[in-house]
């Protein structure tokens, strides 16, 4: 996760104090992280508003609470504390809000659904836990604090490297070396990455940034492919009212390609046609409720 410095601190002062605390912890001072003045403050990230559709959606969700929200500005992002649940009407949420001095008083909304989210810090007493666990009309999420984020950084695994003996890297494994890579198959993707800022802020997984094209082994002349196209043609009317950006993100193609498929100007491959049929059926079953349709799995890289 990416974090902004705590209130009243510059980035250099924050980094220096955080590293001093981490080094002190490693040298045996088990309270070094907890003594930081900002340890229990909510750690917030930053989501740049460089996408017009994201800006429009968030402005509608906040409904006048956006304050000084401007195009090409940014939003606060709250992250779920590691190992703690999100509960209420939705079991998953990514809260965003305009910048305010106190994140706990910000008008948090879920970036995906627009539903309000109650962001709280980790309760300290049984009474606070009992109060927090009451299910109301808003999703409740325990947000990660700065000390949570620092512990996560300390315990994190460096996935690009392995230990010198080839085993997974750990905190005290010694000298690291590059993780070996074996190419099993190739997948054609677009040459330019989309949604880089969103992925960096944590609002989507890194593998969702790329436009994935049909695999060359997906033979467009087989019976399975023709059956998939026939089914898609019978269900295409259910996809027309669905927001293009939502649908393109689900199947990991560009909006231009999706538009060409819906209007019959392009024939999708077997896997893509089958995924579009699955989505169309889910949308029809849910009465065009996209929140319910979100439960279907996303298209994965072959």
Q: What confidence score (pLDDT) does residue 119 get?
A: 87
Please indicate, yes or no, whether the overall pTM of this predicted structure exceeds 0.95: no
Q: What confidence score (pLDDT) does residue 240 get?
A: 85
Q: How far apart are CA 75 and CA 50, in angstroms?
A: 11
- Report the chain (302 residues): mean pLDDT per 10 consecutive residues: 80 92 90 90 82 71 64 80 61 77 84 81 78 74 87 74 81 80 74 62 61 57 80 87 83 84 85 87 72 50 45
**216-273: pLDDT as tens digits:** 455 555 678 888 888 888 888 888 888 888 888 888 888 888 888 888 888 888 888 8
Q: What confidence score (pLDDT) does residue 110 get?
A: 83
Q: How far apart are CA 59 and CA 69, in angstroms?
A: 8
């Amino acid at each position: 996760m990416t974090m902004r410095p705590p209130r009243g601190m510059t980035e250099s002062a924050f980094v220096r104090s955080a590293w001093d605390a981490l080094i002190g912890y490693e040298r045996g001072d088990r309270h070094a992280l907890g003594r930081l003045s900002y340890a229990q403050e909510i750690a917030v990230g930053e989501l740049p508003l460089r996408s017009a559709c994201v800006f429009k959606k968030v402005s509608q969700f906040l409904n006048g609470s956006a304050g000084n929200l401007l195009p090409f500005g940014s939003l606060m992002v709250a992250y779920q504390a590691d190992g703690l649940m999100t509960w209420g009407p939705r079991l998953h949420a990514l809260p965003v809000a305009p910048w305010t001095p106190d994140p706990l008083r910000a008008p948090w909304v879920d970036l995906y659904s627009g539903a309000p989210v109650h962001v709280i810090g980790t309760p300290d007493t049984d009474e606070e836990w009992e109060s927090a666990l009451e299910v109301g009309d808003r999703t409740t999420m325990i947000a990660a604090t700065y000390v949570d984020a620092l512990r996560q950084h300390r315990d994190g695994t460096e996935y690009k490297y392995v230990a010198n003996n080839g085993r997974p890297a750990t905190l005290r494994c010694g000298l690291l070396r590059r993780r070996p890579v074996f190419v099993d198959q190739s997948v054609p993707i677009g040459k330019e990455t989309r949604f880089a800022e969103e992925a960096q802020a944590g609002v989507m997984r890194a593998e969702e940034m790329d436009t994935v094209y049909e695999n060359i082994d997906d033979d467009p002349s087989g019976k399975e492919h023709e059956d998939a196209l026939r089914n898609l043609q019978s269900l295409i009317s259910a996809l027309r009212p669905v927001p293009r950006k939502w649908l393109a993100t689900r199947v990991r193609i560009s909006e231009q390609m999706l538009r060409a498929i819906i209007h019959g100007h392009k024939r999708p491959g077997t896997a893509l046609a089958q995924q579009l049929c699955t989505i169309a059926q889910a949308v029809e079953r849910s009465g065009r409720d996209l929140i319910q349709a979100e439960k279907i799995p996303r298209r994965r890289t072959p």
